[in-house]
A = this chain, B = another copy of it.
Amino acid sequence: MVTIYDIAKKANVSPMTVSRVINNSPSIKESTRLKVEEAIRELEYVPNKQARSLTSKETKLVSLVIPDISNPFFTNIARGAEDKALQLGYQVILGNTDENKDKEAMYINMLMSSGVDGALIVPSSDDSAANMKRLVKRRIPFVYVDRTVDSVPADSITGDNLNTTRELVQHLIELGHERIGLINGPAYLSNARERAQAFRDTLILSGIQPNPRYMIETHFKQDNLDEIISKFLSLRENERPTAIVAANNFIGVNTLRALRSLGIRVPEDISVTCFDDPDIIPDYNPFLTVAKQPAYDMGYIGMQLLIERIQNEAPAATRKIVLPAELKVRTSTSRRGAQD
């Protein structure tokens, strides 16, 4: 391995001078700088980050801890985060927790020993608090994306769950629906809680009494099809909702698949709408009415917040950024009764 000593010898200077050239210190004679740069090129020297980190205490590495890169929503977050990181000279280490706090704990361990400068985290549950506290203790900056753990404050960037839910519900109400169901994620996630709350509030404000039987709870992962089917079957046929708000894209898609398997037509029998587009490719399959959250921006801005924090350019107070979603009305929702 080529080190600064090798190139020092070749350029007839001390290793320190080489180090100065690499870190382009101002006080260096132009002639020696050129000499050193020449040697660096000839020997194809590449600085050793490990050694540098040992003294500088920074690695230019950040961790991205998300539930599952396979979910297009998180895919976009990752792409946004990576773009911003690259721009600012950081590299990102990817971790999939599968919404499992033990797997999350594992990544937190790895991330601490890797010496990353900070982390962008979609926490797996309120029970993640223990994991987050360990980061705080070690003074590793982190930023919440999409969800927060309120007991451990930190910068955050999330969707506007309140208004987005309201828009979705109002869209259905305007179409004449009153028996509206919510298929939600688990209540131990901040975003699911906020959506449930907003769902209830919107109905009440519209003079509709929320029916607890219409508020189903499942999880945000890809494999919730069977659960959705069985919960649906537990409702008597004549008391089924005529419209459904699914709290994320997987739930939306699996609701579609569940209804299809039960022979229920969408939107003729039931209108379906959800958070987050299931497609990475815009408008490829314009069917589902969705509230599209700006996932890319969440990752992009989240990474910016994080790196500002790492570089001590952030204000002392934690920042809470809330991004609006875009309602995309397509054909999975229609006027109640228009088809009967």
Contact = CB atoms under 8 A, between A and B. Distances in A.
A330 to B, nearest CB: 12
A257 B95 CA distance: 34
B54 A82 contact: no
Contacts of A222: 281
Contacts of A281: 222, 249-250, 253, 278
A113 interface: yes
A136 interface: no
Contacts of A287: 285
Given A54-B54, A92-B93, A94-B82, A280 B113 contact: no
A61 B114 contact: yes
B49 A114 contact: yes
B285 A50 contact: no
Contact of A79 (B51, B53, B68, B256): B68
A131 interface: no
A263 B50 CA distance: 58
A133 B91 CA distance: 22
A130 B281 CA distance: 32
A50 B115 CA distance: 7
A95 B64 CA distance: 13
B51 A280 contact: no
A75 to B, nearest CB: 5
Interface string A39-83: 000001011111101100001010010001111100110110011
A154 interface: no
Q: Which of A94, A137, A253 has its CB near the most chain B CB atoms (within 10 A)?
A: A94
Contacts of A257: 283-284
Interface in A90-117: 91-96, 106, 109-110, 112-115
A279 interface: yes
B53 A50 contact: yes
A278 B106 CA distance: 32
Contacts of A54: 50-51, 54
B110 A284 contact: no
5 contacts: A46-B138, A49-B114, A68-B79, A75-B75, A93-B93
